[in-house]
Chains A and B, each alone.
Chain A
Amino acid sequence: MASEGAGAPVADVRLEHVVKRFDDVVAVDGVSVEIPRGSFFAMLGPSGCGKTTTLRMIGGFEEPTEGRIFLGAEDVVGLPPYRRDVNTVFQSYALFPHMTIEDNVAFGLERKGVARSERAGRVAEILELVGLGGLGKRKPKQLSGGQQQRVALARALVNHPRVLLLDEPLGALDLKLRKQMQLELKRIQHEVGLTFVHVTHDQEEAMTMADRIAVMNGGRIEQLGPPQELYERPATAFVAGFLGASNLLPGTVEGPGAIRLDSGELVRADVNGRTGRVAAGVRPEKIALGAGGGANELAGTVSESAYIGVATQVVVRTKAGVMQVFAQNAGTGGHVLAPGSPVTLSWSQDATFVVDDVGGTDRDEEEVT
């Protein structure tokens, strides 16, 4: 995307084969990544995937067992947090309860030796930026969760760090506030132009905010790329399942553009050099009900149909497996299909992605979010 195009000469953060072991447990297993200056980078994955540990190693709260971490050109492994030009927004906010909001925000500036008069101005300015002007004299306890979150953000931003680390910063907020803060964080990032590294388990949050996302699983990066690429072309079954819903059909590669499904049908897809056992995937909203939607067709019967406003969610039983379909209700009337009625599903070759075989057993547990 935009941040990649211009070719950033120096990455703001660079990890080289970083490994972290806690006793016998490998939390991070060989992560290498470059985060360009000014980008909004998200690390996405389920709990225990190593994303928070990776963030804490960048911040200096954990030391890597192996590998190197660079901030700009400087190798920061071994440096304590207070010697690293990064600031963190903690999941629990970690506001100092015995200090006022102003003193909380001024804490970093005070440590840097910024003069008192200048401190006051910068604190007021940053509180204004996060929409908390005039609340500086209060104590953290007197603010709501959303306001505390903004204070935590202001306290980190006011120092103009090279990189801002965000550890599930919106996790404790309710849904409505979270949506609002997602857009606001994005706005603030544009305004201050800093590199943001954001850790989350919420795929929607990552897709809304980030320029680039690293999907992590089991201590490794499964796939790294802009949100659109991860969604349209997931490289692994895990990524396909973690970002949105998908239908995966196990089969075998039969040529550069074709996969023979286990049920016998042929599916057209760009196999991207893969051979042997694979799974052909397609997103539920890219499937058309009826023939003519593209090169790939499967016949089946409707087993469930649910009208959910913007779309109708249809579950279709085919020989290849159970398929989820989201039919957009763009016209009027909607698609009301009675259970048991026969239907043909069709989708294009472009909409088909190929991942390594998932084993084909957990198909029915696939969850539509």
Chain B
Amino acid sequence: MSATTADTAVVTSRLGVGARAWRFVKRHTLTVYAALAFIYLLLPIAVVILFSFNDPVGRFNYVWQGFTLDNWREWDAVLGLREAVTTSLQIATLSTIVATALGTLMAMAIVRHHFRGRGTTNILVFLPLATPEIVLGASLLSLFITAQVATGFGTIFVAHVMFIVSFIVVTVKARLVGFDRHLEEAAMDLGANEWTTFRKVTLPLLSPAILAGALLGFAISIDDFIITYFVAGPTQTFPVFVWGAARVAVPPQVNVIASSIFLIAVTIAVVNVIISSLRAGRQQQGA
């Protein structure tokens, strides 16, 4: 072992300066590249978090003035912010639940059953993803006006269900395509009726895809501005609130909420990684 190390050392010392520099570059290029990419991705978020601790003098939170925890301590000091956040969470939760149930069933219908209009449905489901949001929003608004539906919480909810369904269908469909139908046949062969088969076999195996689709849908719902802005009526969601506020003032509490959402998301991801690695460890111990 030590002899080998000595040999390597001799070889290294014999190399020229240029060659050694080249080796250094080769070894570290990827690291530097990756670090730059991460900075590019994370810098804006870092700024958002940093400015949630800013103590701005004027109405705009654009220049660093000084450090304070007041914004976090009194996160709902701004009029209407608490209501807007609550509304956003309610809409995201409700529409995700409804869209997940609908989307999962739609995906199963499209993959499993041959019915009239199956191809059309398949394409129609993609449309909300492919259509520019501004077009969707404007069309929905004129639809609601024509149908004389008062815009507000209800219309936001309906609109969000519409586009979340697409995400659910796409993710669940992908999982269903690779699904071994023999698993369900085996369950029924062993005495499980249709419902038990769905509950014990189909659903547990689809759940990663359903969960992924639901999380994606929730995140997009919380974040959506364009469609919501059109169909919101007097109701304010968090993005709509920020938009309104930004024209007269940007309170640092907006950064507090944004940072919180980010931190919650990161926490969920980290917990998920820890749980799955613990589970993998336990399985290997069992083996």
Contact = CB atoms under 8 A, between A and B. Distances in A.
Query: Which 9 pairs, one residue from A and one from B, show the smallest C-beta to C-beta distance?
Result: A111-B191, A108-B190, A94-B182, A94-B186, A81-B188, A88-B189, A82-B191, A90-B182, A98-B204
A113 to B, nearest CB: 10
A90 B186 contact: yes
Contacts of A155: 186, 190
B219 interface: no
B285 to A, nearest CB: 10
Interface stretch (A28-36, A136-144, A204-212, A223-231): A136-144
Interface in A61-81: 61, 80-81
Contacts, number: 68
A159 interface: yes
A352 interface: no
B192 interface: yes
Interface in A119-165: 137-139, 142, 155-156, 159
B205 interface: yes
11 contacts: A60-B188, A60-B189, A61-B189, A90-B182, A90-B185, A94-B180, A98-B205, A107-B200, A111-B191, A138-B286, A155-B186
Given A94-B182, A94-B185, A108 B204 contact: no
B287 interface: yes
A96 B204 CA distance: 10
Interface in B162-194: 180, 182-183, 185-194
Output the residue of A80, A94, A137 with the most chain B CB within 10 A: A94
Contacts of B182: 90, 92, 94
Interface in A142-191: 142, 155-156, 159
A264 interface: no
B280 to A, nearest CB: 11
B206 to A, nearest CB: 11
Given A94-B185, A142-B287, A87 B205 contact: no
Interface of A: 59-61, 80-82, 86-88, 90, 92, 94-98, 107-108, 111-112, 137-139, 142, 155-156, 159
A107 B187 contact: yes
Interface string B185-228: 11111111110100011001100000000000000000000000
Residue of A81, A95, A98 contacting most chain B CB atoms (<10 Å): A81
A227 B190 CA distance: 31
B204 to A, nearest CB: 5
B148 interface: no
B185 A61 contact: yes
A299 B200 CA distance: 69
B187 A96 contact: yes
Given A96-B201, A137-B286, A138-B286, A107 B190 contact: yes
B185 A81 contact: yes
Contacts of A139: 283
B196 to A, nearest CB: 7
Given A92-B180, A98-B204, A138-B286, A80 B185 contact: no
Contacts of A138: 283, 286-287
A97 B186 contact: no
A345 B72 CA distance: 102
Contacts of A97: 183, 205
Nearest to B283: A139
Q: Which of B182, B186, B190, B204 has the largest count of A CB atoms less than 10 A from its CB? A: B190
Contacts of B192: 82, 107, 111
Given A87-B189, A92-B182, A108-B191, 14 more contacts: A59-B185, A59-B189, A61-B189, A86-B189, A90-B185, A94-B185, A97-B183, A107-B192, A111-B190, A137-B286, A155-B186, A155-B190, A156-B190, A159-B191
A125 B10 CA distance: 65
A96 B193 CA distance: 16
A70 B201 CA distance: 29
Interface in B124-139: none
Given A82-B192, A82-B193, A112-B191, A96 B283 contact: no
A138 B193 CA distance: 26
Interface string B243-287: 000000000000000000000000000000000000000010011
A78 to B, nearest CB: 15
B188 to A, nearest CB: 4
Contacts of A87: 189-190
Contacts of A98: 204-205
Contacts of B191: 82, 108, 111-112, 159
Contacts of A112: 191
Nearest to A143: B287
A272 to B, nearest CB: 42
Nearest to B188: A81
A142 B283 contact: yes
A222 B272 CA distance: 58
Given A94-B182, A96-B201, A97-B205, A82 B189 contact: yes
Contacts of B196: 111
Contacts of A80: 188, 193-194
Nearest to A113: B191
